[in-house]
Chains A and B, each alone.
Chain A
Amino acid sequence: MNQTTETNFADPIAVVQFLKKVEPFNELGISVLRKLAGKTILDFFPGGSKILEQEVSNVEHLYFIQRGGVRIESVDPVDGRTLKDMREEAEYFGTLSIISGGKSVFDVTAVEDTFCYMLERDTFMELIRERPDFAANLWERLSREVVGGVYEQIRSQKLQPRPEESLRLFNSPIKDVIKRQMETISADASVKQVAASMSDNRIGSLLVTDPSGQVIGIVTDNDLRNKVVAKGMDTSTAVRHIMSSPVKTISDEKICFDALVEMMHSQTHHLAVESANGISGVISAHDIMVDQGDSPISLYREIVAQKIVEGLYPLSRKMPLIVRSLILEGAKANDVTRMISILNDHIVSRVIGLVDQELGPAPYPFNWLTMGSEGRREQTFFTDQDNALIYETPPEGWDYVKDAKLFFRRFGNLAVKHLAACGYTLCKGEIMASNPKWRKPYAVWRNYFDNWMNAPEPQAVLHATIFFDFRAGYGQTELAERLRDYVVNQAPNRGIFLMHLARDCMSTKSPLSFFKNFLVEKDGKYKNRLDLKTRGLVPFVDFARVMALRHGLRETNTLGRIQILGENGLIPQELYAETMEAYEFQMQIRLVHQIRMIEEGKHPDNYIDPLELSDREKHTLKDAFEVINRLQGYLKNEFRVLE
């Protein structure tokens, strides 16, 4: 009976043959593949059905697509639904979710009738443990996916994958990745206190110490869920009863990849990090896999979690990676630049907030003003600092004034220094809060604006382009809003000032020749290239500004301004539609150009080589440039500018 039983059961040859086509599983060797095949299950998902639901589905299997295809999306309260990837036949999904704790990291939907071979989670984990060579290979691929190398096939053929870039995450030393200071809790503390501390510190684990301060264990949010909540344990229970002890450690000299492998080995998601002076922190799978990822939300989380200014220094450099994935996912340029601005705002706010904490209470309420492209929420990469300080006008008397001057001098200088360390280069025109001229009480600022609007000197026009796009930053918003009230009230009546702005806008000629060819730089470093910013984008920005000032709009974003103008019938509908389209298109071209430069290791600029554009892009860009002529024609009539 036994003998027949054995002979009557068959190896699923078809599965083995399938797995031979799947990288890196094809490297496993026939006997391992046979074993895997024997444990394989096949499921069918009709087109359109949801296979996994983000943060809801427990991922019990690794899925191999035998026939069909799936769409992988992340769902986020901020960004909504974004496409992460498409998977096709002989590809797999679910690894990231299995590693990062079981709940699905993404939404996965069958795009057509789809057959999947499935391997049980435990079988997969066992394979990872027994075959470190295979695991290494798998992580390498996974890290590439996480960072975005595989999104190419969906979008923009222009961006090349950069495996070295993405691998860097896994190859970086652990000590560079631990972002937070070590948080500990006494072994006698209650579970309730643990939960409170985790939520205060926004972390998922605490190291547990004995009375001598020695680390004796670790407690994670999983412990709270599985050991306390699930079993209805009393929240006054001492943490020593639910902690994991001894705690698994790893040297901070090792690389993240080693940490992941160790986590797989010990079936844990947290490791204590050991430096020369003992345990110095905790690293989690989440830190490596998800927070190092490319989503804006993960960067946002990182920003708000920083407790010291130095922790913010490296964060703005992650921006290109994030922007890249946003573009690949098909985000519009204006949304991308807004997203950059939001993230920059968060970084700047956090820096200023920490400086504020460090220097103690300010003698007068103040606001950190952002100017220029930052004020318009139109930043791309590596923007200059354009900022200023406004504070409540002190009472008459030198002592009051001196207090304010001294405090805000330290404040301005320190903040600008930290921002520079974060990668925001110093403004060549010194329009920064470190310049005493741009660190003034409300009354002085009001006078500044009053003068600019009165005396239409060339300097005033230049300032207008930077200062009139100011926006409230960290601190008391009311000060900035009061200043905006003043500008909004006054500007529409300052006809001569507005006329000068309009004339300035008209002075930039559209970069098209009489025969509708691109006008490129004649010589120098950018020979044969097109200055997209100055010749293409600036006329739109100037147009939107002068029209916004004329009609007393508070909005500072260029597309925002144009939209309000258009929706309220303040500019002709046709002009409105083509302006929006032309501006967005140029922004898109610029972003893609800059990302490509970053990928090539160059400093991003605004000089486009027309030869790099497709025929279609050239055509659309020419259309966009022709809109400049129409904008200028409109301004000429509107402001009765004499040429």
Chain B
Amino acid sequence: MKTLLEWLGFGKHELIVENRNYFKTFDRNKPLEDYEYVVLDTELTSLDPKHGEVVSIGAVKVKNLRIMMGGAFCCYARPSRPLPKDSTLIHRITPQQIENAPPLEEILPDFIEYCRGAVLVGHFLKIDLTFLGKALKKHFRGTLSNVWLDTLKLAQSYEEYKRRHVYSDDPVENSFNLNKLAVKYSLPLFEKHDALEDAIQTAYLFVYLAHKLKTTGCVTLKDLMVSQSNAALPSDQGYSTA
């Protein structure tokens, strides 16, 4: 039950409060294996922060640096405005899937619950967090306080390490597109049905990078977070959902 204040829009959703409190005292010095991660991807109606909305969330859990293939999270959300006809961003979703879906605010509590205590991981996660945050702020007066990791930055950090320490004939790769990275690292490739497949693909990339970065000395969560913050800013070339 929502309190009156919440209903009036003054309070924050209890899950959000709980989540924020949890991450206030979050220990980042444990080994990577000790954390639970939620690797996620979203589908958007537009990349424009003013108009874009989340229409699909896919997520999968990683424990002990192993991907839990079962118990993945996958949902569709009906946007508040009808889909723009020329939307190329969401070409993987049929109109029916969205028409029959609940609105995002009905799904979000489940998703916050799913992410409870977990480190969030995504590829160019900033985009996903921006749009999820926008919705959370609107409907629940808060946002996700989870610690997060970006596989794009981790990949840049790993490539930077290799460039400095490992002689290689490989041409310098500037693209950090999820698919190109998956091919480059010989990861299994997934067919692109929806956000879940991308989340799984990202999870593979994350587990791969976590193991590889461990050999460069990144042992704790804090180590990874430092290494991603040192990574170069993503170039425009690096990100594309297509």
Contact = CB atoms under 8 A, between A and B. Distances in A.
Please determine whether chains A and B interact with each other in the same assembly: yes
A38 B203 CA distance: 16
B70 A42 contact: no
B66 A4 contact: no
Instruction: Say whether chain B's binding surface is mostly helix, strand, loop, or mixed.
Output: mixed
Nearest to A3: B102
Interface string A76-120: 000000000000000000000000000000000000010101100
B47 interface: no
Interface string B43-69: 000000000000000100000011111
A43 B72 CA distance: 16
Nearest to B201: A14
A38 B186 CA distance: 25
Contacts of A67: 186-188
Contacts of B197: 14
B163 interface: no
Contacts of A15: 69
Contact of B211 (A37, A41, A46, A117): A46
Contacts of A1: 109-110
B20 to A, nearest CB: 22
B70 A8 contact: no
Interface in B200-216: 200, 203-204, 207-208, 211-212, 215
Given A7-B75, A10-B196, A67-B188, A40 B65 contact: no
Contacts of B65: 43-44
Residue of A10, A13, A38 ringed by the most chain B CB atoms within 10 A: A10
Interface in A219-234: none
A10 B74 contact: yes
A37 B208 CA distance: 21
B193 A113 contact: no
Contacts of A66: 188
B107 A4 contact: yes
A38 B61 CA distance: 13
A514 interface: no
B110 A4 contact: yes
A283 to B, nearest CB: 37
Contacts of B207: 42-44
A39 B187 contact: no
Contact of B200 (A9, A14, A37): A14
Contacts of B75: 4, 7-8
A46 B110 CA distance: 35
A458 interface: no
Given A13-B193, A14-B200, A46 B212 contact: yes
Nearest to B193: A13
Contact of A12 (B69, B191, B215): B69
A99 B191 CA distance: 35
A5 interface: yes
Nearest to B57: A8
Contacts of A42: 66-67, 69, 203-204, 207
A15 B69 CA distance: 8
Given A9-B73, A10-B72, A14-B197, A41 B110 contact: no
B99 interface: no
B212 A4 contact: no
B70 A14 contact: no
Given A8-B74, A113-B186, A115-B187, A40 B107 contact: no
A20 to B, nearest CB: 14
A12 B114 CA distance: 17
A8 B69 contact: no
Contacts of B196: 10
A43 B66 contact: yes
A15 B65 CA distance: 18
Contacts of B72: 9-10, 12
B239 interface: no
Contacts of A5: 110
A8 B107 contact: yes
B26 interface: no
A309 to B, nearest CB: 54
Contacts of A10: 58, 72-74, 196
Contacts of B69: 12, 14-15, 37-38, 40-42, 117
Interface in A497-513: none
B171 to A, nearest CB: 20
A12 B72 CA distance: 7
B6 to A, nearest CB: 17
A66 B190 CA distance: 12
Contacts of B191: 14
Given A4-B102, A42-B204, A44-B208, A9 B71 contact: yes
A43 B211 CA distance: 11
A495 to B, nearest CB: 66
B106 interface: yes
Contacts of A46: 211-212, 215
Interface string B158-195: 00000000000000000000000000011110110100
A8 B73 contact: yes
A257 to B, nearest CB: 32
Contacts of B200: 12, 14
Nearest to B200: A14
A414 B68 CA distance: 66
A328 to B, nearest CB: 29
B204 A8 contact: no
A32 to B, nearest CB: 14
Contacts of A44: 65, 204, 207-208, 211
A10 B72 CA distance: 5
A43 B204 CA distance: 9
A66 B215 CA distance: 23
A90 to B, nearest CB: 11
A43 B215 CA distance: 17
Contacts of B74: 8-10
Nearest to A34: B70
Contacts of A118: 66
A141 to B, nearest CB: 24
Contacts of A115: 187-188, 204
Interface string B7-32: 00000000000000000000000000
A39 B203 CA distance: 17
Contacts of B71: 9, 38
Interface centre among B65, B70, B72 (most CB of A within 10 A): B70
A13 B70 CA distance: 10
A495 B100 CA distance: 105
Q: Which 5 A-B pairs have the closest CB atoms?
A: A38-B70, A10-B74, A42-B67, A12-B69, A40-B69
27 contacts: A1-B110, A4-B102, A4-B110, A7-B75, A8-B73, A8-B75, A8-B107, A9-B74, A12-B69, A13-B193, A15-B69, A37-B69, A38-B71, A40-B69, A40-B70, A41-B68, A42-B203, A43-B65, A43-B66, A43-B67, A44-B65, A44-B204, A44-B208, A115-B187, A115-B188, A115-B204, A118-B66
Given A10-B73, A46-B212, 10 more contacts: A4-B106, A5-B110, A8-B107, A9-B73, A10-B196, A42-B207, A43-B66, A43-B207, A44-B65, A67-B188
